[in-house]
Chain A
Amino acid sequence: MSADTAMMREPSVQRPTAPGIKRFLRRFASNKLAITATVLLGVLITTSLAAPLLAPYPPEAIDVVNRLAGPSPEHWLGTDSLGRDTLSRLMHGGRVSLAAAAFAVSIAITFGVPLGLIAGYLGSWVDWIMGRGADVLMTFPAVILAIAIIAATGPGLVNAMAALGVVYAPRLFRVVRGATLAVREETYVEASVSIGTPAYSIVTRRVLPNILSPLLVQISLMLAAALLAEAALSLLGLGVVPPTPSWGNLLGRGFTEIRTTPLLVWFPGIAIALATLCFNLIGDGLRDSLGRETRKGD
Chain B
Amino acid sequence: MSQQIVSSQPLVEVKDLSVTFSKKRLFKPTRVVRAVNGVSFEIAQGETLGLVGESGSGKSTIGRALLKLVPMESGSVRFDNTELTTISRAEMRRMRRRMQMVFQDPYSSLDPSATVAASISEPFRVHEGLSAKQAWSRVQELLEVVGLRPSHANRYPYEFSGGQRQRVAIARALALTPHLIVCDEAVSALDVSTQNQVINLLEDLRDEFDLSYLFIAHDLAIVRHIAHRVAVMYLGHIVESGPAERTYQRPAHPYTQALLSAIPIPNPERSNRAGRILLRGDLPDPANPPSGCPFQTRCPYAMDVCREVMPAMTAVDGGGQVACHLQTAGPELNGRSLMDADVEVVR
Interface residues of A (CB under 8 A from B): 12-13, 15, 17-20, 186-188, 190-198, 201, 205-206, 209-210, 212
Contacts and interface: CB of A to CB of B under 8 A. Distances in A.
Contact of A188 (B69, B97, B111): B111
Given A195-B100, A197-B122, A201-B125, 4 more contacts: A17-B112, A192-B122, A194-B100, A196-B94
Contact of A18 (B92, B101, B158): B158
Interface string B74-109: 000000000000000000111011001101110011
Across the A-B interface, the 10 shortest Cβ-Cβ residue pairs: A196-B96, A18-B158, A209-B113, A187-B108, A187-B109, A196-B93, A188-B111, A194-B101, A15-B158, A197-B126
Contacts of B149: none
Contacts of B113: 19, 209-210, 212
Nearest to B118: A205
B110 interface: yes
Contacts of A201: 125-126
A187 B105 contact: yes
A201 B158 CA distance: 23
B309 interface: no
B208 interface: no
A197 B103 CA distance: 17
B165 to A, nearest CB: 11
Contacts of A194: 67, 69, 96, 100-101
A263 B29 CA distance: 69
A196 B112 contact: no
Nearest to B112: A19
B156 interface: yes
Query: Which of A12, A188, A190, A209 has the most chain B CB within a 10 Å cutoff?
Result: A188
Contact of A20 (B104, B111, B127, B156): B156
B172 A195 contact: yes
Contacts of A206: 111, 114
B123 interface: yes
Interface residues of B, number: 31
Contacts of B93: 196, 198
B11 to A, nearest CB: 17
B103 A190 contact: yes
B108 A12 contact: no
A12 B123 contact: no
B161 interface: yes
Query: Which of A17, A191, A196, A209 has the most chain B CB within a 10 Å cutoff?
Result: A196
Interface of B: 67, 69, 92-94, 96-97, 100-101, 103-105, 108-114, 119, 122-123, 125-127, 156, 158-159, 161, 169, 172
B208 to A, nearest CB: 21
B183 to A, nearest CB: 12
A89 to B, nearest CB: 44
A186 B108 contact: yes
Contacts of A19: 112-113, 156, 158
A205 B132 CA distance: 13
B158 A209 contact: no
Nearest to B103: A187
6 contacts: A187-B104, A194-B100, A196-B127, A201-B126, A206-B111, A206-B114
B92 to A, nearest CB: 8
A18 B156 contact: yes
Contact of A198 (B105, B109, B110, B126): B126
A243 to B, nearest CB: 48
Contact of A196 (B104, B126, B159): B126
A12 B155 CA distance: 13
A20 B103 contact: no
B108 A195 contact: no
B12 to A, nearest CB: 15
Nearest to A212: B113
Nearest to B98: A196
A18 B103 CA distance: 20
Contact of B103 (A13, A191, A198, A210): A191
A193 B109 CA distance: 12
Contacts of B96: 194-196
Contacts of A210: 111-113
Nearest to A9: B161
A197 B172 CA distance: 13
B123 A13 contact: no
Nearest to A201: B126
B159 A13 contact: yes
Nearest to A206: B111
B123 to A, nearest CB: 5
B185 to A, nearest CB: 11
A18 B123 contact: no
A18 B112 contact: yes
A195 B172 CA distance: 9
Contacts of B105: 187
Contacts of B159: 12-13
A15 B159 CA distance: 8
